[in-house]
Amino acid sequence: MYSDGGAGEVWVHARAVAIRPIPWLDGFRQPPHAAVMTNPLLLLRNADVYAPDALGLRHLLIGGGKLLWIGETEPQLPAALEVETLDLEGLRLIPGLIDGHVHVTGGGGEAGFASRVPAPMLTRYTTAGVTSVVGLLGTDDAARGTAELLAQVYALRESGLSAWGYCGGYHFPPTTLTGTVRGDIAFAEPLIGVGEVAISDHRSSQPTLDEVLRLASEAHVAGLMTGKAGIVHLHLGDGARGLELVRQALDTSELPPRVFQPTHVNRKKALFEEALALAMRGCHVDITAFPVEEGEDAWPADEALMRYLDSGASPQRVSISSDAGGCLPCFDGEGRVCGMDVGHSGALLETLNALLARGLPLDRALPAFTRNPATLLRLRGKGTIAVGSDADLVALDGEGRAHHVLLGGAMHVRAGVAVVRGMFEHQH
């Protein structure tokens, strides 16, 4: 329930939620989320708020994992409430970043089983200002499956991170829990779509138009049934066919363009131009924050977003993800791995700061990392700072680093130091 407190102030009434320890076997320390919140109410003072729209200096009251109030004048709260106070002293406060393309179980495997990338630990996300992730499978959807992905999504949730996932992976038929994509999305709450389905890539199943259409219809109908995103998240390789299959799907079916979300669209400059044309038709496109060498036929993520925003395409139809935990391989002429890197969620803040260094205002850059993916993926309460939204917040220091990070109102990073770690991360 919401009420107007006057003077431009808005309140939401919510009950504080107590966090109780879960009993664990003797010899194991408490789970990382057991004592995250010591006080149910937190007042953030003097925050320069980007919601992602620029709001200016504000004070915010957090409780029960939600933003309860925001205003220009500091509230007079009863002492009995025992409100903890944190003065941000003018630091920029932004919504927690949403990383919409993460190999939460680890990716890789293209150069043998030893090349399978381990699952990223909790603080790899939180210290990078990432508070929500969408997990997926890639090339290795045989040794790794939807059950393992779902288990890791639940593990991240238990640690305080907001997490969802896609069923399937690169290949046809898609790996599923229930036997169908429609069933997985309908009955597994965290699964919101299917992906990353590979096209225009020598590692793909070389899917036909009919296969892509059938997959997209399954995802779309499941989304209608459940209120979820119901999208097909498409991995784009560097093949000459580019986005041809997506254009054909739009030309020959009744499926809405939003169902198709191509990613890695900045890996080739010509592919990026195809993606811009699809965005004009209503598709949402995803830019990847991977490293690009000087002279390479690709656009770095910051350059790609600048070009997108200057293209005339809807600024709401673009997002930036990291490919965290995924192998970033290069291949020789015979399709064998000749080198590899590993994606990391820190690339999002690096890209955001590169955009600011180019002169793009923060409120214009932020939506691609926050509100846009939340809207497409129907992640309610995410991607914005507003009364009633989830208290996933990042205070940036003067260098653009994550200084304080709150997940559901719980402090995970304080003054640049992770104060909450995953179960198997070493304490320092």
Binding-site sequence positions: 101, 103, 235, 264, 323
Say how far apart CA 267 and CA 291 lie, in whole Å.
Answer: 10
Tokens for 81? 């409430």
- Beta strand pairing status for 162-167 and 191-199? parallel
Is 323 one of the annotated active-site residues of the chain? yes
Query: In Å, how far from its chain's centre is CA 246?
Result: 23
What length does the chain have? Answer: 428
Distance CA 101, CA 344 (A): 11
| Joined tokens for residue 47 | 């925050």
Instruction: Please state whether the peptide bond connecting residue 273 to the residue before it is cis, i.e. omega within 30 degrees of 0.
Output: no
Catalytic-labelled residue, pool 141, 184, 286, 323: 323
> How far apart (Å, rounded) are the C-alpha atoms in residues 53 and 59?
16
- Asked if 394 and 404 touch (Cβ cutoff 8 Å), the reply is yes
The number of CA neighbours under 13 Å toward the Cβ of 408 is 17
CA distance 325 to 103: 5
What's the token pair of residue 125?
């996300």
Q: Give the catalytic positions in this structure.
A: 323
